[in-house]
A and B are shown apart, each in its own frame.
Chain A
Amino acid sequence: DADVTQTPRNRITKTGKRIMLECSQTKGHDRMYWYRQDPGLGLRLIYYSFDVKDINKGEISDGYSVSRQAQAKFSLSLESAIPNQTALYFCATSGGQGIQETQYFGPGTRLLVL
């Protein structure tokens, strides 16, 4: 079984709708991250969390919110989806070793906002 899972894998929604992307991990890691990937831009950090009570904004948090329901679960919400939020979204986890730590990525959620 995969260590980091994301649901759904693909989603089509309409402008103005609220949607939630979910991430679960079985690695026992405290740190979790949400990124979006756009062609030619690499991955950009949306939000990150060091534990259930510690949630921080990344470089592109506007239009997004998150919830850390448990150590193993970290959800990303788009309160009112807009077309420029069409992207590939990745969840990642890490074990908290600071600058040396490896991040482990889920398979991604492909989101299309019409």
Chain B
Amino acid sequence: GDSVTQMEGPVTLSEEAFLTINCTYTATGYPSLFWYVQYPGEGLQLLLKATKADDKGSNKGFEATYRKETTSFHLEKGSVQVSDSAVYFCALSDSSNTGKLIFGQGTTLQVKP
């Protein structure tokens, strides 16, 4: 079945460092891909998404490109801030077109001043 694998955390960076969180997926059909973020004590919220191959999603300085050839959707940010400390989840939409999401295990990011 469909699945998502993220790099294990926690990831600890200094402020203004470059961030990459790796995400790869296995899916039948052509899913949409998502990054959700969970700030401490809150629910998940959409960070960005891409709906077809070679699309780039971007938001708040974060970017991810839908790479069908490598089945990847890596999250990047050029300069992280302390306020980016959170748990990041990669997800794909279920190929049955029901809107169901399949999540990776989440990666905790801690940014130190």
Chain A interface (Cβ within 8 Å of chain B)?
4, 31, 33, 40-45, 48, 50, 56, 58, 90, 92, 94, 96-108
Contact = CB atoms under 8 A, between A and B. Distances in A.
Prevailing SS type, chain B contact patch:
loop
Contact of B99 (A4, A97, A105): A97
B111 interface: no
A112 B106 CA distance: 21
27 contacts: A4-B43, A31-B99, A40-B105, A42-B4, A42-B106, A43-B44, A56-B98, A58-B100, A90-B43, A92-B44, A94-B99, A96-B99, A98-B93, A99-B94, A99-B99, A100-B51, A101-B93, A102-B34, A103-B44, A103-B99, A103-B101, A104-B45, A105-B36, A105-B43, A105-B45, A107-B43, A108-B43
Nearest to A91: B43
A100 B103 contact: no
A94 B97 CA distance: 13
Given A99-B51, A108-B43, A42 B89 contact: yes
Interface string B34-75: 101000011111100101000000000000000000000000
